[in-house]
Amino acid sequence: MRVLVVEDQRQLADSVARVLRREGLAVDVAYDGGAALERTDVVEYDVVVLDRDLPGVHGDDVCRALVAREAPSRVLMLTASGTIAQRVEGLGLGADDYLPKPFAYAELVARIRALGRRSRPAVPPILVHGDLRLDPAQRVATRDGARLALSPKEFAVLEHLLAGRGRVVSAEELLDRVWDEAADPFTTTVKATINRLRTKLGEPPLIETVARAGYRI
């Protein structure tokens, strides 16, 4: 899942990004509304975590612009004001969810995951293929009942492949949806992660390489 965090308080923005990356999400950060609009012009985010009280281009205007573009991104609006009137107003702008500050990181992650499921074609809450079972909410993957020790990126790659339901997923798509803007498009990161994942999944092999196309379960 690709997430954009828009927050002018740099320490908070960077802290949120670190937490989300630990959860296996691909995260980009914008510190003002103008930068957020530039990024959403070129990247299709699943979820935009948007501080409402931004300097320059206000968060309300960013939200309106995303709605006007009919962007597929879901918007989770953050604000220091938690009044009902403010929440209603934020949702009226087109935001999909609203979270007042201060917030618990666990709740933020849960809300982002819930919105992310709504930004793409619906997938089951538990992804299953044969004896492989993956629970995105609990961050647990098992094969034949044994828990798999996966890194956040390995888990995210496996989740994306399973959600594809047999569709061939290109390395470029994996790089775009699982990694963030810091990823080098010419790197062998995707191939290396797939190889580690294959080793951890064991036999019989589950991930097929489709020549010049990508990978599929």
- Span 71-123, pLDDT tens digits: 788 999 998 766 667 667 767 788 899 898 889 999 999 999 888 877 565 56
> What would the mean pLDDT of 20-34 be, rounded to a whole number?
91
Please tell me whether residues 110 and 141 are part of one structural domain. Answer: no
Range of the domain at 87: 2-119
CATH number at residue 195: 1.10.10.10
> How many CA atoms, within 13 angstroms, populate the side-chain half-sphere of residue 180?
17
Per-residue pLDDT of 124-158, as tens digits, reads 678 999 999 999 878 899 999 999 999 989 999 99
Please tell me whether residues 92 and 154 are part of one structural domain. Answer: no
> Helix 171-178 crosses helix 189-201 at what angle (to 10 degrees)?
90
Helix runs in 72-148, H state only:
84-92, 105-119
Please tell me whether residues 55 and 81 are part of one structural domain. Answer: yes
Please tell me whether residues 68 and 40 are part of one structural domain. Answer: yes
Please tell me whether residues 111 and 150 are part of one structural domain. Answer: no
Burial of 113 (0-12, 13-18, 19+ CB in 10 A): middle
Please tell me whether residues 8 and 109 are part of one structural domain. Answer: yes
* pLDDT score for 170: 92
Could you tell me what percent of the chain has a pLDDT over 90?
56
* pLDDT score for 112: 93
Confidence of residue 201 (pLDDT cuts 50, 70, 90): very high
Say how many residues make up the chain: 217
Please tell me whether residues 28 and 101 are part of one structural domain. Answer: yes
* pLDDT score for 36: 94
Q: Check pLDDT > 90 for residue 67.
A: no
Q: Check pLDDT > 90 for residue 10.
A: yes
Burial of 77 (0-12, 13-18, 19+ CB in 10 A): buried
CATH number at residue 38: 3.40.50.2300
> What would the mean pLDDT of 179-208 be, rounded to a whole number?
87
Average pLDDT over all residues of the chain: 88
**Domain stop point among 93, 119, 145:** 119
Q: Which amino acid is at 33?
A: G
> How many CA atoms, within 13 angstroms, populate the side-chain half-sphere of residue 190?
23
Please tell me whether residues 7 and 35 are part of one structural domain. Answer: yes
**Domain stop point among 94, 119, 144:** 119
Beta bridge partners, 98, equal 77
Confidence of residue 32 (pLDDT cuts 50, 70, 90): very high
Tell me how far apart the alpha carbons of residues 206 and 136 are, in angstroms, rounded to a whole number: 19
Please tell me whether residues 95 and 137 are part of one structural domain. Answer: no
Which two tokens mark 157? 């790659």
**Domain stop point among 89, 119, 149:** 119
Please tell me whether residues 89 and 140 are part of one structural domain. Answer: no
Q: What are phi and psi of 51, to 5 degrees?
A: -70, 130
Distance, C-alpha 114 to centroid of its chain: 10
